[in-house]
Amino acid sequence: MQQDMIVVLDLGSEENTLIARDIRSLGVYTEIHPHDITAQQLKALPNVRGIILNGGPNRVVDGVSIDASDAVYQSGLPLFAVDHAGKIPMSLANWPEEETARKDILKQFVFDRCNAQKNWNMDNFIADQIDLIRQQVGDKKVLLALSGGVDSSVVAALLIRAIGKQLTCVHVNHGLLRKGEPEQVVEVFQKQMGANLVYVDATDRFLSKLQGVADPEKKRKIIGAEFIRVFEEEARKLDGIQFLGQGTIYPDIVESGTKTAKMVKSHHNVGGLPEDMQFELVEPLKMLFKDEVRACGKALGLPDSMVYRQPFPGPGLGVRCLGAITRDRLEALRESDAILREEFEKAGLAGKVWQYFTIVPDFKSVGVRDNARSFEWPAIIRAVNTVDAMTATIEPIDWEVLARITQRVTHEVPGINRVLYDLTPKPVGTIEWE
């Protein structure tokens, strides 16, 4: 069933994604498009019921105040303008900051003026995407790099539902994942979902390349480049692959920049894979926001531990094992992080704190263990809350919880004799240490 759509046109607003999310939360599908959308592009969009011209502080481009294309004004569709002079009777100076007031305005436009139906839900989305994937792929094969992160896991589950054994997933364990994560990927996708899963344990290969490398940027580049090489090697072993599954989500596209907004980060369609691989992309999540991706994962039957997995950097524990990585310190980091996650879960903090992890730096301090002098590493706890990762605040943790974590880490993890709590917000600090 095709959903009704409201189009949000970007005329320099900084609130495009906010308004799009508000409309979707009302049960109506929406997409953000450039201000100069053509008649042909507008006609190609299915079931458009109305258009919001969303103006704002970036409306002047190269000294000229931009406007919607003539195609918009001649479309015959209901129009609603914000911070936009002139041509449209239904207009608003600015969006209210309060969510309820904003949604009241949107309800009037979306339902009363546009007569849009509340048919945007995850069951309809999944059904639509399965049809679209089957139309695109036909009887061909798809390759997917399955990291175990939320986006790649949800894409994998959706592709399995759509094309089954035509999908091959490659999971590269670079030795820098959290405790239990590679095992969970194998358990969920290979054993429970019956996927074609190629599991590559490249731990020794990665740690060998990283030996003695202390510079954070060099570590990141080595990990990223080596991952691509391993993935390429596995891809060459497979015959008949014509499509590459990709966990692109809507913020990736929006943050790549529009004609009125600066790029936040570049959108790498194929994660740095060389162009000569000649894969056609399959990106079924590219119009979903992160919370919608999680809802899709839940609807597809993925476990909560995978669907609500915390943000995790591509280099993994490689940027939390500060300085040159050693196997013993990496293992101490993995074990201390697992204890922290377990204790946060017990204390009811797992769903309350946006991101939490441990860091083990490359220096030691004197301590006492078994009535003798010890010389071991500290484990540093980081627990932050944020909306957009641009700024972050520190979660106040009860002393009892911190004391329990300290007791367990210092007694259960070889090589750790101190536990510290990082109280630095962003700014002046950053969320990660490297």
**pLDDT score for 274:** 52
Q: Yes or no: say if 263 and 251 are a contact pair by the CB < 8 Å rule.
A: no
User: What pLDDT shows up at residue 183?
Assistant: 96
Amino acid at 224: G
Which helix (H) or strand (E) is 21 found in, with range?
helix 16-25
Of 56-60, 65-69, 429-433, where does mean pLDDT reach its minimum? 56-60
Whole-number Å distance between alpha carbons of 312 and 149 = 8
What integer pLDDT is reported at residue 41 of this predicted model?
94
pLDDT of residue 269: 41
Helix (H) or strand (E) holding 408: helix 399-412
**For range 348-375, the mean pLDDT:** 94
pLDDT at 299 over 90: yes
Q: What is the pLDDT of residue 395?
A: 93
pLDDT-based confidence at 256, cuts 50/70/90? low
Q: What integer pLDDT is reported at residue 365 of this predicted model?
A: 96
Q: Strand, helix or coil at 215? A: coil
| pLDDT of res. 386 | 87
3-class state of residue 272 by DSSP: coil
By DSSP bridging, strand 48-55 and strand 79-82 are parallel
- pLDDT tier for residue 271 given thresholds of 50, 70 and 90: very low
What confidence score (pLDDT) does residue 265 get? 35
Token reading at 301:
């039957």
Question: Which residue pairs, CB below 8 angstroms and at least 24 apart, start in 18-22?
Answer: 18/95, 19/52, 19/54, 19/95, 19/102, 19/106, 20/289, 21/289, 22/99, 22/102, 22/103, 22/106
The pLDDT of residue 1: 61
- CA dist., res. 108 & res. 394, Å (int): 39
The CA distance from 270 to 179, in Å, is: 27
pLDDT band for 266, please (50, 70, 90 cuts): very low
Distance CA 103, CA 95 (A): 10
Q: Over range 5-20, report the average pLDDT.
A: 90
320 close to 312: Cβ distance less than 8 angstroms:
no
For residue 120, which of 21, 43, 211 has the smallest C-alpha distance? 21
* Contact between residue 194 and residue 167 where contact means Cβ atoms under 8 Å apart: no
Q: Is the pLDDT of residue 258 over 70?
A: no
**What's the whole-number mean pLDDT along residues 126-137?**
95
Q: Which pLDDT belongs to residue 267?
A: 38
Give me 270's structure tokens.
């194929």
Percent above pLDDT 70 for the chain: 93
Q: What pLDDT shows up at residue 264?
A: 35
* Angle at alpha carbon of residue 297, lines to 155 and 201, rounded to 5°: 55
- How confident is the model at residue 68, as a pLDDT? 87
CA distance 221 to 344: 32
- pLDDT of 337 over the 60 cut: yes
Per-residue pLDDT reduced to its tens digit, 409-431: 999 999 999 999 999 999 999 99
Q: With the CA atoms of 132, 136, 138 and 140 taken in that order, what torsion angle do they form, in degrees rounded to the nearest 10?
A: -130
Average pLDDT over residues 49-59: 88
Mean pLDDT throughout 364-385? Answer: 95
**Which pLDDT band, with edges at 50, 70 and 90, does 9 fall under?**
very high
pLDDT at 63 over 80: no
In whole angstroms, what is the distance from residue 23 CA to residue 25 CA?
A: 5
pLDDT of 321 above 50 = yes
- Two structure tokens written together for 354: 């946006």
428: preceding bond cis by omega (within 30 degrees)? yes
Q: 169 and 195 in contact (C-beta within 8 Å)?
A: yes
In DSSP terms, 394 is beta-bridged to: 384
Q: Do the beta carbons of residue 175 and residue 327 sit within 8 Å?
A: no
Q: Which two tokens stand for residue 113?
A: 């003026």
pLDDT at 272: 46
Give the C-alpha separation, 328 to 319, whole Å: 15
- Averaged pLDDT of the chain: 90
Q: What is residue 276's predicted lDDT score, i.e. its pLDDT?
A: 59
**What is the C-alpha separation between 346 and 216, in angstroms, rounded?**
33
Q: Residues 6 or more apart from 240 whose CB is under 8 A from it?
A: 140, 141
Listed ranges 221-235, 236-250, 401-415; the one with the highest mean pLDDT? 401-415
pLDDT-derived band at 97 (thresholds 50, 70, 90) equals confident
Residue environment code for 247-266, b if the CB has 16+ CB neighbours within 10 A, otherwise e: bbbbbbbbbeebebbeeeee
Q: What is the pLDDT of residue 387?
A: 78
Joined together, the tokens standing for residue 214 give: 């202390």
